[in-house]
């Protein structure tokens, strides 16, 4: 029994008939369409064409319909006329029936026989052939559409399937992503405010949480995912947490920073003495780390020790040494004279002193004493990457109380630690982990100008370029893709694009997609809330998918202004808000 019930012998009489091929190139087909077929043809729908193989079909999206078309040669390749480069290059067929439809080919259906002689079918993204001129074309509707979508659903429903929603073309067919390929090749989840980004992230997290050994880390900048019951909630502490540390707090002690991060934190590159400040700071930090390792009698560590090694050191001793150099007087031929670094660290010391006393930076500089032991790094590694304990398969790290200027460095530290812990893990013991980078445009800007942003971008670029080899995946989530670093976005081979209304953002997504799918992207500004275009290695067919809403919803719903203003007897607690601002902690009472 053939895959589709189309009548190839009397195609023009078939109720699914669209027209015949008038022109074809490597990825596009132009149909000559009779008037009575126009009513069954719609832009964005699917069509199929037979090819000279047993029960094999090419599949494509209808991207343009022109009634009573007249093709006129354009003056150049830049012609915008119908039939120009956006349509069929310079192909200008004589249309005998007067109506033109262009189709973008996206894959093929092939018949295959297994070892037991059973005949089956599979869909492939590879264009194994092109249709012949005058070949018939049929629209996928009703039963034929159900047959094809059923093939996609069956092919996607594997042991590594990630069910995310239903196809807009056929709401009865479940849409699956290949979970392996989605995370292996990195992913970008993009959409304007209110398009359903956070819900889509939560849906993916819910599905992953059901796996026995899932390992995902959500970098949560606004506390949106703080109430997900299936996730371990970690929070970078604010000033109000320093006196009574709780188990759910994630301190990031200063000794985790490498040399470049320390310099970005403490040294003002615009100062005339910045070079000397950086040089001396690195020298003294390395001395402090070496002293600590010697005191711990870890002789096997010493040969590989550098200023970047994640080893505790006494920052107060480093500062004291630099303060001595700043005021040092040495004996000269005619008495005392200023030392080599006399007066070069005045602003540096003031800057360090201010940050060390600022409780907003307490998660760095006012950490518990236990985090300055040799074994503290082991505990931090488990806190970040362990997935064996209850609710540890999904870890949400709340960075909402981290000062804005330090935020990029702190996120970069987490990404760098995850990458290098995976890098140094023996291959046979390595377990993959995914970083969900929410609001990525804030800390991974396209034009990172200040040192803190540059350090974060460098860390995440390394993960984007090399993380796949060591089991580290990125999922970039942003409402402004035009503001996200180009290098990081370009490494994302899977794109989930929800509604985008800004032209610059649409242009970025357009660059991430194959050229043949540009017509599909014109739907971006008209997508419904929770509806997405999904393209990439993880999906069989570039598709418009209505995402399933999550069972546990993030705290990201847009506030209904008019409805709230219409409610009587609202009494905000301004005194509590003022006190929370002073505490730098959002308490409810």
When computed from its CA atoms, the radius of gyration of the chain, rounded to whole angstroms, is: 30
Percent of the chain with pLDDT over 70: 95
Strand intervals (E) in 269-426: 329-332, 335-338, 394-398
pLDDT tens by residue, 28-59: 899 999 998 998 898 889 999 998 888 889 99
pLDDT the model gives residue 515: 62
Separation CA 135–CA 362 (nearest Å): 71
Q: Give the mean pLDDT of 211-231.
A: 94
- Residues written for the chain: 589
pLDDT tens by residue, 320-341: 999 999 998 887 778 788 888 9
Instruction: Check if the beta carbon of residue 500 is closer than 8 Å to that of residue 509.
Output: yes
What is the distance, to the nearest Å, from the Cα of residue 362 to the centroid of all Cα atoms in its chain?
A: 30
**pLDDT score of 106 more than 70:** yes
pLDDT tens by residue, 528-571: 999 999 999 898 888 899 999 999 999 876 778 888 899 998 88
* Burial degree of 404 (CB within 10 A; 0-12, 13-18, 19+): exposed
Which residues on adjacent β-strands are paired with residue 217? 395, 435
Separation CA 521–CA 533 (nearest Å): 8
**pLDDT score of 481 more than 80:** yes
pLDDT tens by residue, 170-190: 888 888 999 999 999 999 999
CA distances from 139 to 45, 84, 130, 148, 277 (A): 8, 25, 17, 12, 70
**pLDDT score of 275 more than 60:** yes
Q: Give the mean pLDDT of 296-302.
A: 92
Separation CA 496–CA 531 (nearest Å): 10
Q: What is the residue-averaged pLDDT of the chain?
A: 89
The two three-digit tokens of residue 340, written as one number: 């080599």
pLDDT the model gives residue 521: 80
CA distances from 432 to 92, 117, 228, 471 (A): 52, 38, 22, 4
Instruction: Check if the beta carbon of residue 463 is closer than 8 Å to that of residue 419.
Output: yes
Instruction: Check if the beta carbon of residue 253 is closer than 8 Å to that of residue 302.
Output: no
Q: How confident is the model at residue 78 (pLDDT cuts 50, 70, 90)?
A: very low
- Geometric angle at alpha carbon 227, from 221 and 231, rounded to 5°: 85
Instruction: Check if the beta carbon of residue 443 is closer than 8 Å to that of residue 219.
Output: no
Query: Which of 45-49, 395-399, 582-586 is least confident?
Result: 582-586
The two three-digit tokens of residue 172, written as one number: 């009865």
pLDDT tens by residue, 159-169: 778 999 999 88
pLDDT tens by residue, 244-273: 778 889 999 999 999 999 999 999 988 999
**pLDDT score of 82 more than 50:** no
pLDDT the model gives residue 448: 79
Separation CA 128–CA 138 (nearest Å): 19
* Burial degree of 2 (CB within 10 A; 0-12, 13-18, 19+): exposed
Instruction: Check if the beta carbon of residue 275 is closer than 8 Å to that of residue 344.
Output: no
- Geometric angle at alpha carbon 580, from 575 and 583, rounded to 5°: 130
**pLDDT score of 575 more than 70:** yes
Separation CA 100–CA 93 (nearest Å): 10
Which residues on adjacent β-strands are paired with residue 264? none
What is the DSSP code (8-state) at residue 430? -
Is pTM, for the whole model, over 0.75? yes
pLDDT tens by residue, 511-529: 888 766 777 788 899 999 9
Query: Torsion angle, CA of 541/542/545/547, rounded to 10 degrees?
Result: 90
List, as one string, the DSSP characters of 452-478: HHHHHHHHHHHHHHHGGGGTEEEEEEE
Strand intervals (E) in 67-147: 99-113, 119-124, 136-139
pLDDT tens by residue, 112-138: 887 777 888 889 888 878 898 999 999
């Amino acid at each position: 029994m053939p895959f589709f019930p189309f009548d190839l012998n009397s195609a023009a009489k078939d109720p699914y008939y669209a027209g015949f091929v008038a022109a074809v190139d490597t990825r596009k087909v132009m149909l000559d369409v009779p008037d009575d077929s126009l009513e069954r043809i719609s832009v964005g729908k699917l069509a199929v064409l037979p090819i000279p193989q047993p029960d094999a079909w090419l599949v494509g999206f209808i991207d343009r319909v022109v009634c009573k078309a007249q093709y006129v040669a354009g003056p150049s390749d830049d012609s915008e006329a119908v039939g120009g480069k956006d349509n069929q290059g310079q192909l200008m067929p004589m249309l005998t029936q007067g109506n033109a439809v262009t189709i973008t080919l996206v894959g093929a259906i092939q018949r295959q026989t297994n070892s037991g002689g059973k005949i089956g079918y599979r869909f492939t993204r590879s264009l194994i052939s092109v249709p012949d001129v005058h070949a018939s074309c049929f629209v996928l509707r009703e039963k034929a559409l159900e047959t094809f979508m059923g093939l996609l659903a069956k092919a996607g429903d594997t042991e590594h399937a990630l069910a995310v929603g239903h196809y807009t073309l056929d709401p009865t067919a479940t849409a699956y992503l290949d979970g392996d390929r989605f995370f292996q090749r990195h992913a970008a989840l993009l959409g304007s405010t209110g398009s359903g980004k956070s819900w889509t992230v939560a849906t993916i997290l819910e599905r992953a949480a059901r796996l026995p050994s899932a390992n995902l880390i959500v970098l949560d900048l606004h506390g949106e995912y703080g109430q997900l019951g299936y996730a371990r909630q970690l929070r970078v502490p604010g000033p109000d947490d320093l006196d009574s540390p709780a188990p759910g707090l994630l301190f990031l002690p200063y000794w985790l920073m490498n040399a470049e991060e320390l310099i970005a934190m403490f040294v003002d590159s615009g100062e005339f003495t910045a070079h000397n400040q950086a040089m001396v700071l690195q020298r003294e930090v390395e001395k402090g780390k070496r002293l600590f390792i010697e005191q711990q009698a870890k002789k096997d560590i010493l040969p590989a020790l550098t200023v970047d090694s994640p080893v505790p050191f006494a920052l107060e001793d480093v500062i004291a040494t630099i303060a001595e150099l700043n005021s040092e007087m040495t004996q000269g031929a005619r008495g005392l004279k200023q030392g080599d670094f006399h007066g070069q660290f005045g602003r540096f010391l003031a800057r360090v002193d201010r940050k060390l006393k600022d409780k907003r930076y307490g998660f760095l500089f006012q950490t518990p004493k236990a985090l300055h032991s040799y074994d503290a790094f082991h505990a931090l590694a488990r806190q970040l990457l362990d997935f064996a304990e209850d609710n540890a398969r999904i870890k949400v790290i709340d960075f909402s109380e981290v000062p804005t200027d330090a935020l990029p460095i702190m996120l970069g530290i987490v990404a760098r630690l995850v990458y290098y812990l995976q890098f140094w893990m023996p291959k046979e013991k390595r377990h993959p982990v995914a970083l969900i980078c929410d609001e990525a445009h804030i800390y991974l800007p396209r034009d990172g100008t200040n040192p803190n942003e540059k350090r974060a971008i460098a860390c995440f670029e390394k993960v984007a370029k090399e993380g796949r080899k060591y089991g580290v995946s990125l999922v970039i989530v942003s409402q402004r893709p035009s503001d996200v670093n180009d290098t990081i976005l370009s490494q994302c081979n899977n794109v989930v694009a929800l509604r985008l209304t800004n032209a610059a953002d649409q242009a970025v997504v357009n660059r991430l997609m194959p050229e043949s799918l540009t017509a599909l992207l014109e739907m971006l500004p008209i997508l419904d809330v929770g509806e997405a275009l999904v393209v990439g290695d993880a999906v069989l067919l570039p598709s418009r998918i209505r995402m399933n809403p999550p069972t546990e919803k993030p705290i990201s719903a847009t506030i209904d202004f008019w409805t709230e203003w219409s409610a009587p007897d609202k009494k905000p607690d301004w005194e509590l808000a003022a006190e929370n601002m002073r505490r730098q902690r959002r308490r409810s009472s």
